[in-house]
Chains A and B, each alone.
Chain A
Amino acid sequence: MAAYIFRRLLRTLLVMVGISVVVFAFVRSIPGDPAVAMLGERATPEASARLREQLGLNQPWFINFKDPAHLFNAQYPKYVGALLQGDLGNGIKSQIPVASELKNRFPATVELALGAIIFALLIGLPAGIIAALRRNTVWDNLATTVSLVGVSMPVFWLGLLLSWFFAVVLGWLPPSSRLGIGYTIVPITGLDVLDGLLRGQFAAAWDALRHLILPSIALGTIPMAITARITRNSLLEVLGQDYVRTARAKGLSPRSVTLKHALRNALLPVVTVVGLQMGALLGGAVLTETIFSWPGLGSWLYDAISLRDYPVIQGGVIFAALVVSLVNLLVDLSYAFLDPRIQYA
Chain B
Amino acid sequence: MTTVTAAPARKKPENILWRRFRKSTPGKVGAIIVLVFVALALLAPLLQPYDPSTDIDYRYRLAPPSVSAFWDAGAKEKYTDAVSSKVLYFKHPFGTDNLGRDIATRVLHGARVSLQIGIFATVLALVSGSLLGILAGFYGGWIDTALGYVSDVMLAFPSILLAIGIVSISNRPGLTTAMIAVSVVQIPIYLRLARSVVLSVREREFVQAASALGAGQGRTIFKHVLPNSLTPLIVQGALSIATATIEAAALGFIGLGAQPPTPEWGTMLADSREYYTQAPWTMIFPGLAILMTVLGFNLFGDGLRDVLDPRSTQ
Contacts and interface: CB of A to CB of B under 8 A. Distances in A.
Contact between chain A and chain B defined by CB under 8 Å: yes
Interface of A: 11, 14-15, 18-19, 22, 26-27, 29-31, 148-149, 151-157, 160-161, 164, 168, 233, 236-237, 240, 280, 283-284, 286-287, 290, 298, 301-302, 305, 317, 320-321, 324-325
Nearest to B252: A156
A160 B298 contact: no
A290 B287 CA distance: 18
B85 to A, nearest CB: 34
Interface string B163-205: 0110011010000000000000000000000000000000000
Contacts of B280: 164
A11 B171 contact: no
B164 A154 contact: no
B150 to A, nearest CB: 8
B276 A321 contact: no
A52 B294 CA distance: 45
Contacts of B152: 11, 15, 18
A154 B149 contact: no
B168 A153 contact: no
B26 A15 contact: no
Contacts of A286: 158, 160-161, 164
Contacts of B286: 157
A157 B250 CA distance: 9
B117 interface: no
B291 interface: yes
Nearest to A15: B152
19 contacts: A11-B152, A19-B153, A26-B169, A30-B169, A148-B299, A149-B291, A149-B295, A154-B294, A155-B250, A156-B250, A160-B273, A160-B283, A160-B287, A164-B276, A168-B277, A280-B158, A305-B168, A321-B158, A325-B156
Given A15-B149, A152-B242, A324 B156 contact: yes
A101 B117 CA distance: 37
Contacts of B31: none
Nearest to B153: A18
- Interface majority SS (helix, strand, loop, mixed), chain A: helix
B210 to A, nearest CB: 32
> How many of chain B's residues touch chain A, expressed as a range?
35 or more
A19 B157 contact: yes
Contacts of B277: 164, 168
A305 B162 CA distance: 11
A157 B269 contact: yes
Interface in B279-306: 280, 283-284, 286-287, 290-291, 294-295, 298-299
B246 interface: yes
Nearest to A21: B153
A147 to B, nearest CB: 10
Contacts of B295: 148-149, 152
A22 B157 CA distance: 10
A15 B266 CA distance: 33
A157 B283 contact: yes
Interface string B260-273: 00000010010001
A317 B149 contact: no
Given A157-B290, A240-B314, A284 B158 contact: yes
A161 B287 CA distance: 9
Nearest to A17: B153
The listed residue with most B CB atoms (<10 A of its CB), out of A30, A152, A325, is A152
Nearest to B294: A152
Given A283-B158, A324-B158, 9 more contacts: A26-B165, A152-B246, A154-B269, A164-B283, A168-B277, A284-B158, A287-B253, A298-B158, A320-B158
Nearest to B269: A157
Interface in B240-261: 242, 246, 249-250, 253-254
A302 B157 CA distance: 14
Given A148-B26, A301-B161, A305-B168, A15 B153 contact: yes
Interface string B124-160: 0000000000000000000000000110110011101
Nearest to A282: B158
The 8 closest A-B pairs by CB, nearest first: A157-B287, A152-B294, A152-B295, A321-B156, A18-B153, A283-B158, A30-B168, A31-B171
Contacts of B298: 148, 151-152
Interface string B4-40: 0000000000000000000000100000000000000
